[in-house]
Amino acid sequence: MNANYIFSLIAVIVLFLLAYLGTEAAGLHVLFGVVIPYTAGIIFVAGFIRKIMNWAYSPVPFSIPSTCGQQKSLPWITPAEIDNPFTKKGVIVRMALEVLFFRSLFRNFRFELKDGSKLSYIWEKWLWLAALAFHWAFLAVVIRHLRFFTEPVPFFVRAVEYLDSFFRVEVVNTVVQIGLPGIFISGIVLLAAVIYLFLRRVFIPQVNYISLASDYFPLFLIMGICISGILMRYFLKTDIVSVKAFTMGLVTFRPAIPQGVGSVFYVHLFFVSVLLAYFPFSKLMHLGGIFMSPTRNLTADTRARRHVNPWNYPVHVHTYQEYEDDFREKMIEAGLPVEKVQ
CA dist., res. 1 & res. 199, Å (int): 13
Q: Which of 190, 219, 267, 277 binds ligand HEM (CB under 6 A)?
A: 190
CA dist., res. 332 & res. 334, Å (int): 5
Query: Which residues, 213 to 272, sit near ligand HEM by CB under 6 A?
Result: 225-226, 229-230, 232-233, 238, 240, 243, 247, 265, 268-269, 272
DSSP secondary structure code for residue 284 in this structure: G
Cα–Cα–Cα angle for 198, 200, 201, rounded to 5 degrees: 70
| The dihedral sign for the CA sequence 174, 175, 178, 180 | negative
Q: Please, which residue, 52 or 236, has the CB nearer to ligand HEM?
A: 236
CA dist., res. 246 & res. 261, Å (int): 10
What end-to-end distance do the CA atoms of the chain give, in Å? 78
Query: Quick one: which of 228, 234, 229 has its CA closest to 171?
Result: 234
| The dihedral sign for the CA sequence 260, 38, 214, 222 | positive
Q: Please, which residue, 243 or 300, has the CB nearer to ligand HEM?
A: 243
Binding characters for ligand HEM, 284-323, by CB under 6 A (x = yes): ----------------------------------------
Query: Quick one: which of 215, 21, 273, 54 has its CA closest to 29?
Result: 21
Nearest approach, Cβ of 232 to ligand HEM (angstroms)? 4
Q: Please, which residue, 148 or 216, has the CB nearer to ligand HEM?
A: 148
DSSP secondary structure code for residue 288 in this structure: H
Q: Please, which residue, 49 or 251, has the CB nearer to ligand HEM?
A: 251
Q: Are strands 118-123 and 169-172 parallel, antiparallel or unpaired?
A: unpaired
At position 182, the amino acid (one-letter code) is G
Query: Which residues, 94 to 153, sit near ligand HEM by CB under 6 A?
Result: 138, 141-142, 144-145, 148
Nearest approach, Cβ of 75 to ligand HEM (angstroms)? 51
Q: How many residues bind ligand HEM (CB under 6 A)?
A: 25
Q: Which span sits near ligand HEM by CB under 6 A: 110-118, 186-194, 213-221, 295-303? A: 186-194
Nearest approach, Cβ of 93 to ligand HEM (angstroms)? 29
Q: Please, which residue, 18 or 272, has the CB nearer to ligand HEM?
A: 272
CA dist., res. 189 & res. 186, Å (int): 5
Verify binding: residue 157, ligand HEM, rule CB under 6 A: no
Q: Note the residues at the interface with ligand HEM (CB under 6 A).
A: 138, 141-142, 144-145, 148, 184, 186-187, 190, 225-226, 229-230, 232-233, 238, 240, 243, 247, 265, 268-269, 272, 275
